[in-house]
Amino acid sequence: MLEWQNISIKGQGKPRLAELSLQLKPAQLTVILGPNGAGKSSLLSLAAGLVKPHSGAVLWKGKPLSSWPARDLARFRAFLSQSLSLPFPMNVAELVRLGRFPHLPRSPAEEELIIAKVLELCQASSLATRRSNELSGGELQRVHTARVLAQAWESQERGEGLLLLDEPTASLDPQYQHATLQVAKAMAARGLTVIAVLHDLNLAARYADRIVYLKEGHMIGEGSTRDMLREDLIREIFDVEVCVPRDERLEHPALITLGSRRDALNLQTQLKIVNE
Amino acid sequence: MEAARKNMSRRVLCLGLLMLASLLVASLKIGAVSLSWSDLWQLVAAPEGIAANPTHDSIVFQLRLPRALLALIVGAVLALSGLVLQGLLRNPLASPSLLGISSGGALGATGMILGSHFFPWAHAGLVPAAAFVGCLLASFWMLSLAQVEGRTDTALLILGGVAINSLVGAAIGLFTFFADDAALRSITFWSLGSVAGASWEQVAIVGLCSLPALLFLSFLGNALNALLLGEREAEFLGLSVERLKLTAFWFLSLALGAGVAYSGVIGFVGLVVPHLLRLWLGADHRQLLVASSVYGACLLLAADLIARTIAAPLELPLGVVTGAIGSPYLIYLLRRDKKLRLR
């Protein structure tokens, strides 16, 4: 059980997160949604245990995350960051093997097997012998996802742990977006508490078990995916007109965003700005 | 895959050790008095205390061997420090001489030599200790200059190093200008380095101070690999980055300080050797660490051999030779990097 207790983080001037409380059950994929600057990444970093809140606490199994030694924390919590750069090009298999750093080494054959499995899960097996500087952004993203899974491998074997994904589908083709979230879902099915920050409402609709809405540092809503993907909520949070087609063949809600509600962002105003 | 890489690294290491052994023999054999194989054999085979040829005996055991060993240890430390600094700071340009760490040590050393004339507590025997403190202070100053919101900024790091280097260089220049002391030797010694004055005592001190660094730092392979991802990511992987940095800088400063105290500031070894090995072995620090020490030792041993033979009976400063080998290579790296960026 992961729990944010009355969390506040101050940014420059205004609060980045204000008195937020939230509990997440294990074995679920929770998706955090919200406009830019809503505090999504802050919420995720708190769960990673490296950022200390100005007030409140983040508890894992009733114990503050910040009280764990870095190495122990890394054994049950894996984090996928956005946009990583490497100072020196690395071999892909080596890069993925970095995920094994916090764990007690197993036999070389077992380690190789884990690397092979996570690469396969991320559909990156064919990249194993390549070097990081030869990969495209999307390929590198998949390799990093594999590395994070290699770190979470022990967790999924134990059936308990934290998997945190910050925009895991950024720069991926549709097929890999689905593949990545399916892996996340599989890890949740193995018992992990999986949290992902996403921008794509339809991917959230398709894969999330729960959805958390953030806006300007406040939690606007939290609940099951079906309850949360309502037109009125999305309109309020994203400032956007939205259409939710009802079709009985769909297992999950689908959403079509129709453009901004604010005059400043519609086509006519923008053309006027360009012309002036 | 993994096996092939290990094989490659073993081969590179064996080649390095072989080169090191040949260079060591060569530096005993070659010089103003050139020894034949039989001369050398007689020296080695001679029973304790009865030298077959006293002149040869003192040339080899009092001059050439300590000199070669000093070059060997200092070279190993320089290359290893370069690799560790590049990994810790995630910066391909990091090296002890470029970042001002070595010159910080030189300032400590010259300060102590100068101070021994004025203060009763200052003593020439404390020179390595002063160089150690100098290295340590320069390291932490350089680090604090480059820290922006808890991250090490690449551009600031190099600029900070340049600033510390020139400031410290000016201070050393001032010391050597005003001090009329043979012990301070010349400004050339401190800025370009030399192992010409090597003695067994120096070899012992430098060896003892370098041993902890050579041993401890060689085990940092996995940690430095994790750091390739960035400081934040390394912490996500469970590495205590600050503690690692702190420990590494203490060990590095101890080894570099002792080296600087007796051989001055020698550039380019710390920069060139790690990059060269990365071209062969890739970025895996588990394989690079030991290889760097071995090849660093080879490079400085070879440089010293060239320095004392190419213009004999004159001796070139070591920095001239390492610079002559190192700068063209650095230029090549920069050009290659430019091409990579354009792609």
Mutation for testing the A interface, residue in B1, B236, B333 having most A CBs under 10 Å: B236
CB contact under 8 A, A101 and B238: yes
Mutation for testing the B interface, residue in A88, A141, A145 having most B CBs under 10 Å: A88
Nearest CB partner across the interface for A91, out of B92, B282, B340: B282
Least confident segment among A72-76, A89-93, B47-51, B328-332: B47-51
Residue B238: its chain A contacts at CB < 8 A? Answer: 70-75, 101-102
Query: Which span out of A163-167, B88-92, B154-158, B325-329 was modeled with the highest average pLDDT?
Result: A163-167
- Decide if pLDDT at B7 tops 80: yes
What digits encode the pLDDT tens for the residues B15-73? 999 999 999 999 988 887 788 888 878 777 776 666 667 788 788 888 899 999 999 99
Q: Are A2 and A194 in contact (CB under 8 A)?
A: no
The Cα of B130 is separated from the nearest Cα of chain A by a number of Å equal to 34
Mention every residue, 6+ apart, whose C-beta is less than 8 A from residue A186: A121
What is the pLDDT averaged over residues B85-109?
88
- Give the span between the Cα atoms of A86 and B90, in whole angstroms: 8
The Cα of A50 is separated from the nearest Cα of chain B by a number of Å equal to 8
DSSP state of B193: -
Helices (H), A3-136: 40-48, 70-76, 92-97, 108-121
CB contact under 8 A, B222 and A101: yes
A102 interfaces chain B, CB cutoff of 8 Å: yes
A104 interfaces chain B, CB cutoff of 8 Å: no
- Give the span between the Cα atoms of B155 and B210, in whole angstroms: 30
- What's the mean pLDDT when you consider all of chain B? 85
Task: Quote the pTM value.
Answer: 0.88
Nearest CB partner across the interface for B1, out of A48, A129, A131: A129
Helices (H), A36-163: 40-48, 70-76, 92-97, 108-121, 137-151, 153-158
State the ipTM, two decimals: 0.88
- Give the span between the Cα atoms of A77 and A79, in whole angstroms: 7
Q: Are B316 and B310 in contact (CB under 8 A)?
A: yes
What digits encode the pLDDT tens for the residues B149-190? 767 777 788 888 889 989 998 988 888 777 766 656 667 788
- Give the span between the Cα atoms of B287 and B293, in whole angstroms: 11
Taking CA atoms, A24 is separated from A53, A76, A212, A225, in Å, by: 18, 16, 10, 14
